[in-house]
Structure 1
Amino acid sequence: MNAERQFIPLDIAVLTISDTRTAENDSSGQALVTALTQAGHHLFEKTIVTDDIYQIRAVLSRWIADVAVNAVITTGGTGVTGRDGTPEAVLPLLDKVLEGFGEVFRMISYQDIKSSTLQSRALAGVANATYIFCVPGSTNACRTAWDSLIKDQLDYRTRPCNLVQLMPRLLEK
């Protein structure tokens, strides 16, 4: 029997990492909030921190430790300038890295921004049964990541497989 799967809304947190964005001008963070809520998910919390690895880790660690948070999407800090430190902040917190996320994100982005996609250090992984997605700070990059990758993988109805169906097993030893 192949019964249709029901949508499972997740609690998702959004973290904007920027030295210049504020609640009033954070178009990338707001685009992610709009996208996830329109998809039927719940916003757990949204916050902005400066591009400082310890501030990033502090917020992420709190969300990773909170069993109510199913996923986190960060925007910003994935480039190569001296202040871009999101990968350095996040990687030590991850239990497992989803290598394909960054690879596929760059492949998709190449269609729009050509070789500039080489500057993106987008990544994803899982920490304490919480999915973490780190995407660039541009609003277009956030929309690309959500529409082309994250949305379907956080939808239990996506076949042949999705990240939601793995959630009960993430803490297995």
Structure 2
Amino acid sequence: DRRITQFPFNVLLKGWATTTTNEDVEDSPERCLRLFGEMARLGQENNNLRPDEVTLSTVLQSFQRRGRIEEADDLLFEWVSRYEDDTEGSLPLMKNMFVFVMEGWAASDSSSVVDAPDRCLRLLTEMIRVATRNGELSPDPTSYTTVLATFRRHGRLEEADQLLFTWVREYEDSTDIPLD
């Protein structure tokens, strides 16, 4: 059987996303985007070639690993928009995609990226909003912790403290289950 599926594309994507030895390492996000685009094109005719969750996560990872987090953030929001417009379900999202980008903001240099905590909070808010369509995208403890860690790392402890207790109150107001 000579059918091609997402698997070989995803293997190559993973290689480009994680390479550290190739001389073309700096353009690996562009190479990942090229493969993603080719999969999307081929996937219009063959569902076995449509980009899947692994594809999307790996493309984001390629940007994150190169410190190009703003581009990853923009790309994720573009995909969220396409996801919401997509009636065929051909562009899958997973919560780890949001967390990859949050972790990129969390690791960013606090002296040059002063709005990283706000970017993480924006991603968390977007997760909550998109989860109304797909509950599997609801933030988990890692999502909340990453946002708080970003505020902490950027010296914004008062805001982190306020956020935590806002989330606790929202949780208590939405359920009868105690936090213990």
Relative contact order (alpha carbons < 8 A, sep ≥ 6): 1 or 2 greater?
1
TM exceeding 0.5:
no
> Which has the larger helix fraction?
2
Higher Cα Rg, which structure: 2
> Which has the larger strand fraction?
1
TM-score scaled by length of structure 2: 0.27
TM-score scaled by length of structure 1: 0.28
